[in-house]
Amino acid sequence: MNRIKNFYIKILVFTVVFLFIFAWENIQAVKLGYKIEDLRKELTDIENTNKYLKKEIQLTLSPENLQEEAKKLDMVYPEPQSMIVVQENKKEKSKSCFARLAGIFK
């Protein structure tokens, strides 16, 4: 008789625990749903702020703006003749390489 009673009690406890977990799980899902939605909004907000800040940087670096700033500093655009093109001398480079190798085996 006692065994049957214990069996019933066990089933009851199991059912209560099962229902409790089920309800807890659902409540957590809803809570997370709220949280995810809030985080989505926050993320969108941060992305917007980020875009606005990038916009400021790009605007500062726009050719129009750079030209204005350069003019304020009395800078002028160089003429092609005032340009000095520095070219890598491959021959000399290779020579110096051989020279270095020669140095090693001296």
Q: Which is nearer to another protein, 75 or 99 (CB)?
A: 75
CA distance 93 to 91: 5
Q: Is 36 in the site for another protein (CB under 8 A)?
A: yes
CA distance 4 to 10: 10
Tokens 């001296």 sit on residue: 106
* Tokens found for residue 38: 């809030």
Q: Which is nearer to another protein, 52 or 105 (CB)?
A: 52
* Contacting residues toward another protein, per CB under 8 A: 30, 32-34, 36-37, 40, 48-49, 51-52, 54-55, 58-59, 62-65, 67, 77-81, 83, 85, 87
